[in-house]
Structure 1
Amino acid sequence: MGIADMQAYARTVSLASLALAVIAVLAGAQPEATARPATGSATPSAAAPARADTFRSARTYPTVAAPVRLRIRALHVDSTLQRLGRQDDGTVAVPERADVAGWYEDGPRPGQPGPAVILGHVDSRTGPGVFVDLSKLKRGTEIRVDRADGSTVTFRVRKVAQTAKTRFPTDLVYAPSLDPSLRLVTCGGSFDRTRGSYRDNVIVYADQA
């Protein structure tokens, strides 16, 4: 998405944090209590609901290493992953560079139960972004995420949707689940020159292979 276009999406993350907390309870996850400082830019929003890291469970699950690289061969995407936290106002940070995707680290890690979310810009003032061709992905396309321990988790595209930013499907993107899944989010549709942003979001829904 364009830099300004991350703003509407950022607001939805604060609203969806409660859903992520539910995922943590269902999965017995124990996220790190201290996230890395947020980077990038986002607009102010209302205070976020309870964070997932306020929940604890006696159940244990195999450790899943943090993601470090995203690879989509069909789109010639091979990007390191910036860790995205939340700013002091509760909004999600966005990738600092247009050619690098970012993983929202307050949510599940790819391969953990629930939807892992990766954001990327569609373009910038200097040229195309890492997700410029995201809308062209086909059902069944393979997406690979490399992790810090040297392992790789593979996902396959289930569907690609485009929706107006005013109707961002928060429930579909962040719905609690015990099944590992992946969401890729960028901007799309026509460009609103008055507001300096795209009107839509492109969302890729993928399931672990």
Structure 2
Amino acid sequence: MAEETAPAETTPPVKTAPVKTPMQRALPGLLIAGSLGGVGLVMVSLLSLAPPPVDDGSLPREVAAKAQDAPTVDVQNAGAFVLAATVGPGGKNVPLTPARLEAPPPLAAAPVVPAIPRAKTKATKARPIRIKIPKIKVNSAIGSVTMDAKNALGTPPLTKPNQTGWFRGSPVPGEAGPSIINGHVSTRTGPAVFDRLRELAKGDQIYVYRSDKKVTRFTVSGIEQASKTSFPTKRVYENTSNAQLRLITCGGVYNKTTHHYTDNIVVYATLSKKKG
């Protein structure tokens, strides 16, 4: 992503569905956008039996003195922390921390409803067009992002700071599997669409509107802030038998030299209502 000048950016384990999602079939060795509000990329390989090591593609880190309001875990001192066995619920005045890499996605916070059947043909395939998150006053158009020739996942244009990006290799929100939507925390013009993403907590509602007139409601089940050097690839991308949503942006300490943030903030949510 483009360089930025400000330090504010961009269930128990479920049984794996027998049919792999297009994302799983198409993206071994995926490079995902880790520095959603900066220049860097988080490189991840998709879903092997053991979580692979992750390289965020940045230069050796010289942590900048100024941090976001968000607390962060210094990876160099990671041995001093005992990571939780599950993703935390988030909430007011609750520090966001990472969970163990092998931990599953958090338990659903509301009764789960069946996924919307996947379209059989391209002509009938829906796409997400808008996301609303009442708690943090998000009302954003959803564009699409894809991988480039270098297998790097794109992000919304910096000229559209209030637009989010749905990864077209992931399921349409409401269909079975984890749908991925990313967004900037900030651009040169100031705070962007996911500036307040870290404020979400278990039980909060996320609404995704689709081109087929269906409206899907997801309920947040957990939120974490994880170092880009230990991105929870399996937890974020592993296939699920129900419909889930992942929102991703940046957090942690901003490095003015490399224009990277140290961490990612990941929100986990599960489909709890649908209409239309």
With normalisation by structure 2, the TM-score equals 0.57
Letter of the 1:92 counterpart: L
Q: 2:198 aligns with which of 124, 129, 135?
A: 135
SS of the residue aligned with 1:208? strand
How many angstroms does 1:65 deviate by? 1.8
- Quote the Cα distance in structure 1 between the aligned partners of 2:243 and 2:37: 30
- What residue number does 2:170 align with? 107
Does structure 1 retain, via aligned residues, the 8 Å contact 2:37–2:250?
A: no
Whole-Å Cα distance in 2 between the matches of residues 6 and 135 of structure 1? 20
Identify the residue that residue 40 of structure 2 maps to in structure 1.
Answer: 7
Q: Secondary structure at the residue paired with 1:200?
A: strand
**Residue identity (%):** 34
**Structure of greater Rg:** 2
Which letter maps to 2:155? V
Match of 2:224 in 1: 161
What per-residue deviation string (whole Å, max 9, x for no partner) do you get for residues 168-189 of structure 1? Answer: 1000000111111000000011
- Give the residue type in structure 1 aligned to 2:135: A
Deviations 1:123-161 (A, max 9, x none): 111100100000000110000000001110110000010
1:192-207 alignment to 2 at 5 Å? Answer: 192-207=255-270
1:113 Cα deviation (Å)?
0.9
Q: Deviations over 1:70-116 (max 9, x none)?
A: 11011110000011111122211111132111000111110111100
User: Is the contact made by 1:67 and 1:109 (CA closer than 8 Å) also made in structure 2?
Assistant: yes
Query: Gaps (5+ residues) in structure 1?
Result: 20-42, 44-60
Q: Which residue of 1 aligns with 2:149?
A: 88
- Structural mapping, 1:1-209, within 5 Å: 1-2=9-10, 5=38, 7-9=40-42, 11-12=43-44, 15-16=45-46, 61-63=117-119, 65-96=126-157, 97-209=160-272
Matches of 1:205 and 1:125, distance apart in 2: 28
Deviation of the 1:7 alpha carbon: 3.0
Q: Residues of 1 paired with 2:247 and 2:118: CA distance?
A: 24
CA displacement at 1:166 relative to structure 2 = 0.8
SS at structure 2 position matched to 1:156: strand
- Give the deviation of 1:62 after TM superposition: 4.6
What is the alpha-carbon distance in structure 2 between the residues aligned to residue 62 and residue 105 of structure 1?
14
The CA distance in 1 between the partners of 2:240 and 2:220, in whole Å, is 17
Q: Which has the higher contact order (CA 8 A, sep 6+)?
A: 2
Q: Post-superposition shift, 1:196?
A: 1.3
- 8 Å CA contact 2:179–2:244 kept in 1: the answer is yes
Aligned partners of 1:164 and 1:129: how far apart in 2?
21
- Aligned to 1:74, the other structure's residue is in SS state helix
Provide the C-alpha distance between the structure 1 equivalents of 2:171 and 2:256, rounded to a whole number of angstroms: 35
Contact 1:4 1:196 in 2 (8 A): no
Distance 1:88 1:62, change over 3 A: closer
- One-letter amino acid of the counterpart of residue 220, structure 2: V
Paired residues, number: 165
- Aligned partner of 1:23 in structure 2 is none
- Superposition RMSD in Å: 1.7
